[in-house]
């Protein structure tokens, strides 16, 4: 009886998960259909899958540049952000300089602002300094946008590492650099991973900033998705479904592998624990 | 101050860009020894032996834009043979709704990111006023190839001139475009349908291009009604109602103008009292009334959605841009579609049609360096060669020069060509404002029209009042107009 | 910490409390000043100017006129704000209720076969590219070609529903997609909140035969409330920012029915290039988000204080 109940219970949970996944499944399914099959009424569940959409996708040279940009911008920005944030978080956590709370507050408020309000003054500044459509400056902007998040996550973790480690290290003659990178850093690895993954997903999915302060050279895949919605005349469903299917593999694989960091990542490190 | 004077006064910048344009030529132009004049001279081209990469910004998902690009290798061959330089093209694109944004964010930085831009006609002012695009008056003067005879004054007004009515040229037509009615010929010719229609209305269905050219909306409505069969998932008609970009505006202006209305006074910038007349409000109601022949979801139909419903066989007829002809008539619909002028409004001898102009001009980035400027000008020269224009037409594009359109074989190149030519004639099609504030004015009016067709606002007069007042305020704030919104405006809202 | 033990110059700098703070904070402060302080000051300044990028005219100082226009003009911020807050309140309420219910449901699933995969499927909507999600939902919602209407029509014999074209429905249709994306987040938070409840207390309550609802309020809510509040706050702030999702779905239409603040600002700044007005608008949004951040921090501090007490 309990076995049956357990099966039923788990069956319901699985059903709920599948319901949430269904629209995504529909996108993936569509990516193997022809345009006419996608638009067919009644919707086709059985069809002979075609890989033409993917072939067409990669037949376009621009796509590789856009993928490269997506990878470069998100990786680069997040690496810069995590390094910078770690140093700052260490400082906030250990030395508690005056104004720590205020700075932490300001940092967070950047992330709380609607996108166009963030990018508007930055755009004007980029116009004035000629920084638009540059990999470096776009990367740095993304880094700055990833910093608040990372500082918050890492400070939470650093607060949890006992200062006794630092003291032992110092007594044993280690330099502060040694302590920071060799003693403390390894202990906050979960925080680093969480900061890394969730900023990466954010930059990976980011569209507006890329559209406004990026350009020909720096366009990423979300940009391509937005621009490629229409093909000659109609809506380009084959492109949208194929591109989306490929592009979401990375975030979904990440939340599978790094599931235990999900909570930390999604809450600025303010909530810890596993699900 | 008239609009033109005001424009002069407002923009030292404009003059600067004229000078810049002059300079670009001037480098070239003096006594035929300069860059541009040299096109005809025997001496070697200044770029000979060089490799240039050009960037074109065009409209994503817009056939004619991609055609321009698809044809660019021909230009590369042409200049290689003629001037001995190598040019490659990079094509960048953005959808209609975002392209101005893309162009403007880039041009604001004085960037050469895009050397040539396919602009939509109503952006001319917004691009010209800050001096972002090249004034072409001097270029045209120096290049006999560009002194073409255009098919009609509408071409010049729509794609080339800003401010309206002045002689300042900022663009050259890339794709000409007009509204056309796409009709399922195979449905019309079905004997069973014919018999049923005749039994019902006591007259035969129109069959030929000529029949449709004389058709009025009232007569056409019988057809639209006849083919509207929701139980069979088929509807009689479709046109654009979408809130995106200018979709609802262009479709509604067909009604507004054809029924005798006007949108504004281009010289004084007066909107209030011109746009919000009771007649125009009635036109708005009429525009909405046609929704009953459209498929569900028609209030979201834009260009792309319109193509989808037509190609998937959901509608009998659709008012759509001639430029999307190749997409509207794919392989499986070849021979089954008749492209005719949209029906006239009104009855009897008073019936008339004044439809929206579509289409896009080429504009040239004012910040191009000399080499790119030179290639851009060579490109324009090449684009208007008779061979190029013909090739463009053969691939499904719509050129605008009189010579090409007057060719005896032109009408038969594409199914929509005859209608295109017919509608391009003066008085049949016109464009709306080219004001630099167009985007703000457009947003207001798109929201208003969209709110009305979706029943969010129910009083057409109130909607028109709201739009007219808001637009009047925008024009007053920007200095384009001296006319203040009247006291009535305080009470208007959407 | 005897001075003789410092081998490198850098190490020595790190011993001075002033310099080490400086060294560690320099990068972050540089980033902050360049990408935040300067632009924000720029924004503040520009909010007092009439500046249109397409007019070709230099900015003109107009005092508070932009703010007056924002509050009193035809396009007043109140409409957008009330719409946005409706969006936020309805969305967050729904997501919290459903998310919490699912959280309770998943609470006892530690031994579920394939739990990790099931959770990945459940959490997938929140890591998708919003632009792609929005575009695709436009298709799913389509009255003629969309699968939802197919189900409604052929499954339930309903008249076609124009989800995104009907202003009465469009707002809720967009909200539904937002909820689809973010209900899993509230489930995640609920699981975390439930995880923070000490097992011993739960068992004690069970042995004492405390009624279920009282157990909920006494034990579970007592321990879990801060995490839930943080979750609700984060969701509130995030949904206040909603933009990417709506652009491909409705662009703020039909009419103005889905025009949220972020969308209006995006349109005025990067379609109409009305930079002065937009700056003023952005300043107002900045004030709102600072207020929301303050509440967030306040709750965090409450929690910290409570933890210190225990």
Q: Tell me if chain C has a CB within 8 Å of the CB of B448.
A: yes
Which tens digits make up the pLDDT trace of A227-237? 877 766 567 88
Query: Contact at 8 Å (CB) between B86 and B329?
Result: no
Residues 21-50 of A with CB under 8 A from B: 36, 39, 41
Of all residues in chain A, the one with the smallest CA distance to B57 is A216
For residue A230, the cross-strand partners are: A235
Q: Among B14, B130, B439, select the one facing C271 at the smallest CB separation.
A: B439
Q: Do C36 and A144 touch (CB under 8 A)?
A: yes
What is the average per-residue pLDDT within A262-275? 76
Of all residues in chain C, the one with the smallest CA distance to A112 is C289
Q: How far is A111 from chain B (nearest CA, A)?
A: 24
Q: How far is B232 from chain A (nearest CA, A)?
A: 12
Mean pLDDT value across chain B: 88
Identify from B440, B446, B455 which residue to disrupt to test chain C contact, counting C C-beta atoms within 10 A and taking the largest count: B440
Burial B39-51 (b: 16+ CB within 10 A, else e): beeeeebbbeeee
Q: Which residue has the higher pLDDT, A216 or C287?
A: C287
Q: Do A90 and C24 touch (CB under 8 A)?
A: yes
Give the pLDDT confidence score for residue B13 in this predicted structure. 40
Give the pLDDT confidence score for residue B411 in this predicted structure. 92
Residues 44-103 of C with CB under 8 A from B: 50, 52-57, 73-75
Q: Do C14 and A176 touch (CB under 8 A)?
A: yes
Across A65-69, A267-271, C12-16, least confident range: C12-16
Give the pLDDT confidence score for residue B30 in this predicted structure. 37
- When pLDDT is cut at 50, 70 and 90, the band that residue B7 belongs to is very low
Whole-angstrom Cα distance, residue A223 to residue A203?
12
Q: Is the pLDDT of residue B25 over 90?
A: no
Which tens digits make up the pLDDT trace of B378-436? 999 999 999 999 999 999 999 999 999 999 999 999 999 999 999 999 999 999 989 88
Nearest Cα residue to C70 out of C293, C271, C269: C269
Among A33-42, A132-141, B103-112, the range of highest mean pLDDT: A132-141
Give the pLDDT confidence score for residue B18 in this predicted structure. 42
Q: Do C116 and A267 touch (CB under 8 A)?
A: no
Which tens digits make up the pLDDT trace of B420-474? 999 999 999 999 989 888 888 998 999 999 999 998 889 999 999 999 999 999 9
- When pLDDT is cut at 50, 70 and 90, the band that residue B23 belongs to is very low
Q: Among C252, C257, C270, select the one facing B456 at the smallest CB separation.
A: C257
Between CA A237 and CA A246, with CA A243 as vertex, the angle to 5 degrees is 140
What is the average per-residue pLDDT within A192-221? 89
Q: Is the pLDDT of residue C157 over 90?
A: no
A38 chain-C contacts, CB cut-off 8 A: 139, 145
Using CB atoms, which chains have 3+ pairs under 8 A with A?
A: B, C
Across A136-140, B41-45, C209-213, C279-283, least confident range: B41-45
Q: Is the pLDDT of residue B235 over 90?
A: yes
Query: Contact at 8 Å (CB) between B480 and B292?
Result: no
Q: What is the CA radius of gyration of chain B?
A: 23
Total count of residues recorded for chain B: 494
What is the average per-residue pLDDT within A159-166? 83
Which tens digits make up the pLDDT trace of B167-208? 999 999 999 999 999 999 999 999 999 999 999 999 999 999
A256 chain-C contacts, CB cut-off 8 A: 116-117, 120
What is the average per-residue pLDDT within A5-10? 90
Give the pLDDT confidence score for residue B21 in this predicted structure. 42
What is the average per-residue pLDDT within C116-120? 92
Q: Do C167 and B456 touch (CB under 8 A)?
A: yes
Across B20-29, B56-65, B244-253, B456-465, least confident range: B20-29
Residues with Cβ within 8 Å of B420's Cβ and at least 6 positions away in sequence, in order, are: B176, B177, B178, B180, B322, B398
Give the pLDDT confidence score for residue B69 in this predicted structure. 81
Portion of chain B with pLDDT greater than 70, in percent: 91
Q: Tell me if chain B has a CB within 8 Å of the CB of A123.
A: yes
Identify from B105, B307, B309 which residue to disrupt to test chain A contact, counting A C-beta atoms within 10 A and taking the largest count: B105
Residues 150-169 of C with CB under 8 A from B: 160, 162, 164-168
What phi, psi does B229 have (nearest 5°)? -135, 80
Q: How far is A180 from chain B (nearest CA, A)?
A: 42
**Is the peptide bond preceding residue C283 cis, with omega within 30 degrees of 0?**
no
B451 chain-C contacts, CB cut-off 8 A: 167, 254-257
Number of helices (H), then strands (E), in chain A? 15, 0
Give the pLDDT confidence score for residue C87 in this predicted structure. 95
For tokens 């002065």, what's the residue? C276
Give the pLDDT confidence score for residue B175 in this predicted structure. 93
Q: Among C50, C54, C162, select the one facing B129 at the smallest CB separation.
A: C54
A163's tokens: 């200062």
Q: Do B101 and C251 touch (CB under 8 A)?
A: no
Question: For B366, how many CA atoms within 13 A lie in the half-sphere containing its CB?
Answer: 27
Which tens digits make up the pLDDT trace of A173-190? 777 778 888 888 888 888
User: Please, where are the H alpha helices in C33-76?
Assistant: 38-46, 65-72
What is the average per-residue pLDDT within C130-156? 86
What is the average per-residue pLDDT within C214-227? 82
Between CA A273 and CA C71, with CA C176 as vertex, the angle to 5 degrees is 100
Portion of chain A with pLDDT greater than 90, in percent: 33
Q: Among A133, A213, A231, select the one facing B61 at the smallest CB separation.
A: A231
- When pLDDT is cut at 50, 70 and 90, the band that residue B35 belongs to is very low
Across A102-111, A250-259, C78-87, least confident range: A102-111
Identify from B129, B450, B472, B476 which residue to disrupt to test chain C contact, counting C C-beta atoms within 10 A and taking the largest count: B450
Residues 37-76 of A with CB under 8 A from C: 38-39, 41-43
What is the predicted ipTM?
Answer: 0.87
Identify from A232, A235, A236, A243 which residue to disrupt to test chain B contact, counting B C-beta atoms within 10 A and taking the largest count: A232
Across A77-86, A103-112, B286-295, C239-248, least confident range: A103-112
Q: Do A14 and C114 touch (CB under 8 A)?
A: yes
For tokens 């799913």, what's the residue? C140
Q: How far is C167 from chain B (nearest CA, A)?
A: 6
Mean pLDDT value across chain A: 87
Q: How far is B25 from chain A (nearest CA, A)?
A: 26
Give the pLDDT confidence score for residue C16 in this predicted structure. 76
What is the average per-residue pLDDT within B120-137? 92
Whole-angstrom Cα distance, residue C186 to residue C184?
5
Query: Contact at 8 Å (CB) between A106 and C32?
Result: yes
Of all residues in chain B, the one with the smallest CA distance to C146 is B297
Q: Is the pLDDT of residue B3 over 60?
A: no
Whole-angstrom Cα distance, residue B220 to residue B223?
5
Q: How far is C171 from chain B (nearest CA, A)?
A: 12
Nearest Cα residue to A230 out of B255, B486, B63, C203: B63
Q: Is the pLDDT of residue B41 over 80?
A: no
Across B14-28, B262-276, C43-57, C88-102, least confident range: B14-28
**Would you state the CATH architecture of domain A61-266?**
Orthogonal Bundle (1.10)
Q: Do A41 and C144 touch (CB under 8 A)?
A: yes
Which tens digits make up the pLDDT trace of B318-372? 999 999 999 999 999 999 999 999 999 999 888 999 999 999 999 999 999 999 9
Q: Tell me if chain C has a CB within 8 Å of the CB of A212.
A: yes
Between CA A206 and CA B114, with CA B307 as vertex, the angle to 5 degrees is 45
Q: Which residue has the higher pLDDT, A242 or C197?
A: A242
Q: Do B95 and A236 touch (CB under 8 A)?
A: no
Using CB atoms, which chains have 3+ pairs under 8 A with B?
A: A, C
Burial A75-109 (b: 16+ CB within 10 A, else e): ebbbbbbbebbbbbbbbbbbeebeebeebbebbbb
Residues 98-127 of A with CB under 8 A from C: 103, 105-110, 112-117, 120-125
Give the pLDDT confidence score for residue B343 in this predicted structure. 96
Between CA A28 and CA B300, with CA C254 as vertex, the angle to 5 degrees is 55
Task: Give all domains of chain B, ordered by start, each with its CATH number.
Answer: 3-177+359-425 (3.40.190.10), 179-241+294-356 (3.40.190.10)
Q: Tell me if chain C has a CB within 8 Å of the CB of A170.
A: yes
Give the pLDDT confidence score for residue A162 in this predicted structure. 82
Which tens digits make up the pLDDT trace of C160-177? 888 888 888 999 999 999
Burial C15-51 (b: 16+ CB within 10 A, else e): eeeeebbebbbebbeebbebbbeebbebbeebbbbbb
Q: Do C254 and B456 touch (CB under 8 A)?
A: yes
């Amino acid at each position: 009886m309990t076995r049956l109940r357990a099966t039923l219970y788990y069956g319901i949970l699985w059903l709920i998960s599948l319901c949430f996944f269904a629209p995504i499944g529909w996108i993936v399914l569509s990516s193997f259909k022809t345009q006419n099959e996608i638009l067919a009424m009644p919707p086709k569940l059985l069809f002979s899958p075609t890989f033409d959409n993917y072939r067409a996708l990669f037949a376009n040279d621009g796509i590789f540049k856009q993928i490269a940009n997506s990878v470069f911008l998100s990786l680069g920005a997040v690496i810069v952000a995590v390094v910078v944030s770690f140093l700052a978080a260490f400082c906030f956590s250990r030395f508690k300089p005056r104004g720590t709370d205020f700075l932490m507050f300001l940092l967070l408020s950047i992330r709380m602002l609607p996108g166009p309000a963030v990018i508007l003054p930055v755009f004007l500044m980029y116009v004035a300094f000629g920084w638009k459509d540059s990999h470096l400056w776009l990367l740095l902007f993304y880094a700055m946008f990833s910093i608040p998040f990372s500082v918050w996550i890492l400070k939470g973790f650093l607060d949890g590492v006992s200062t006794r480690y630092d003291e032992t290290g110092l007594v044993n003659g280690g330099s502060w650099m040694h302590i920071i990178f060799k003693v403390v850093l390894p202990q906050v690895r979960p925080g680093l991973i969480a900061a890394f993954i969730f900023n990466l997903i954010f930059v990976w999915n980011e569209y507006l900033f890329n559209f406004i302060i990026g350009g020909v050279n720096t366009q990423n895949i979300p940009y391509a998705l937005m621009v490629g919605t229409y093909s000659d005349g109609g809506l380009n469903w084959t492109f949208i479904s194929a591109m989306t299917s490929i592009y979401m593999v990375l975030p979904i694989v990440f939340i599978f592998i790094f599931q235990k960091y999900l909570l930390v990542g999604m809450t600025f490190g303010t909530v810890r624990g596993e699900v | 101050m008239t609009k033109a004077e005001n424009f002069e006064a407002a923009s030292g910048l404009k003059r600067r860009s004229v000078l810049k344009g002059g300079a670009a030529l001037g480098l070239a132009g003096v006594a035929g020894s300069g860059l541009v004049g040299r096109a005809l001279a025997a001496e070697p081209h200044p770029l000979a032996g060089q490799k240039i990469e050009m960037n074109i910004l065009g409209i994503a998902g817009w056939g004619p834009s991609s055609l321009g690009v698809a044809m660019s290798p021909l230009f590369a061959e042409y200049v290689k043979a003629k001037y001995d330089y190598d040019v490659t093209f990079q094509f960048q694109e953005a959808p209609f709704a975002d392209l101005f944004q893309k162009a403007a964010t880039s041009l604001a930085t004085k960037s050469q990111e895009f050397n040539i831009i396919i602009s939509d006609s109503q952006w001319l002012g917004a691009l010209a006023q800050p001096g972002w695009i090249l004034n072409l008056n001097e270029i045209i003067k120096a290049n006999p190839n560009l002194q073409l005879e255009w098919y009609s004054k509408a071409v010049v007004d729509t794609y080339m001139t800003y401010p309206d009515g002045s002689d300042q040229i900022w663009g050259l037509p890339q794709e000409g475009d007009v509204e056309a009615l796409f009709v399922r010929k195979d449905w019309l010719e079905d004997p069973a349908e014919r018999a049923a229609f005749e039994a019902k209305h006591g007259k035969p269905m129109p069959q030929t291009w000529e029949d449709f050219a004389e058709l009025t909306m009232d007569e056409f409505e019988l057809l639209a009604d006849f083919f509207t069969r929701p139980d069979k998932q088929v509807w009689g008609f479709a046109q654009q109602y979408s809130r995106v970009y200018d979709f609802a505006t262009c479709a509604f202006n067909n009604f507004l103008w054809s029924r005798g209305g006007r949108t504004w006074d281009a010289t004084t910038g007066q909107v209030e009292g011109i746009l919000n007349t009771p007649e125009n409000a009635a036109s708005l109601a009429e525009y909405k009334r046609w929704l009953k022949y459209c498929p569900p979801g028609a209030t979201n139909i834009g260009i792309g959605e319109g193509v989808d419903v037509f190609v998937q066989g959901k509608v009998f007829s659709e008012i759509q841009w001639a430029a999307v002809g190749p997409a509207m008539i794919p392989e499986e619909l070849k021979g089954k579609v008749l492209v005719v002028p949209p029906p006239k409004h009104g009855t009897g001898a008073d019936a008339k049609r004044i439809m929206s102009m579509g289409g896009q001009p080429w504009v040239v980035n004012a910040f191009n360096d000399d080499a790119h400027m030179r290639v851009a000008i060579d490109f324009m020269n090449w684009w208007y060669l008779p061979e190029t224009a013909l090739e463009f037409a053969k691939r499904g594009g719509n050129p605008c020069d009189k010579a090409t359109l007057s060719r005896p074989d032109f009408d038969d190149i594409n199914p929509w060509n005859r209608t295109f030519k017919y509608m391009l004639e003066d008085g049949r099609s016109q464009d709306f404002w080219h004001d630099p504030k167009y985007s703000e004015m457009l947003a207001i009016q798109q929201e208003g029209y969209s709110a009305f067709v979706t029943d969010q606002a129910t009083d057409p007069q109130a909607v028109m009042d709201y739009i007219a007042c808001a637009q009047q305020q925008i024009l007053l704030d920007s200095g384009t107009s001296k006319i203040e919104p009247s006291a009535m405006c305080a009470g208007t809202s959407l | 910490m005897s001075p003789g033990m410092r081998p490198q110059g850098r190490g020595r700098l790190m011993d001075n409390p002033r310099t080490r703070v400086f060294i560690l904070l320099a990068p972050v402060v540089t980033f902050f000043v360049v990408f935040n302080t300067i632009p924000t000051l720029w924004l503040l300044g520009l909010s007092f100017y009439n500046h249109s990028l397409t007019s070709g005219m230099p900015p003109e100082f107009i005092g508070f006129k932009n703010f007056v226009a924002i509050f009193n003009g035809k396009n007043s911020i109140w409409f957008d704000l009330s719409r946005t807050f409706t969006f936020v309140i309805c969305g967050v309420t729904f997501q919290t209720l459903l998310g919490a219910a699912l959280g309770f449901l998943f609470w006892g699933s530690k031994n579920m076969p394939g739990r990790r995969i099931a959770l990945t499927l459940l959490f997938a909507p929140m890591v998708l590219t919003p632009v792609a999600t929005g575009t695709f939902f436009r298709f799913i919602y389509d009255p003629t070609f969309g699968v939802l209407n197919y189900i409604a029509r052929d499954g339930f014999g309903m008249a076609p529903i124009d989800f995104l074209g009907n202003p009465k429905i469009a707002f809720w249709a967009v909200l539904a997609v937002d909820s689809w994306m973010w209900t899993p987040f509230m489930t995640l938070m609920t699981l975390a909140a439930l995880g923070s409840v000490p097992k011993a207390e739960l068992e004690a309550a069970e042995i004492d035969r405390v009624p279920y609802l009282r157990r909920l309020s006494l034990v579970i809510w007592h321990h879990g409330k801060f995490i839930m509040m943080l979750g609700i706050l984060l969701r509130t702030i995030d949904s206040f920012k909603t933009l990417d999702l709506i652009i491909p779905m409705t662009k703020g239409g039909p009419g103005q029915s889905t025009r949220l603040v972020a969308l209006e600002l995006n349109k005025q700044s990067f379609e109409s290039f009305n930079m002065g007005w937009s700056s003023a608008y952005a300043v107002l949004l900045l004030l709102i988000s600072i207020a929301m951040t303050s509440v967030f921090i306040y709750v965090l501090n409450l929690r910290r204080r409570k933890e210190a007490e225990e």
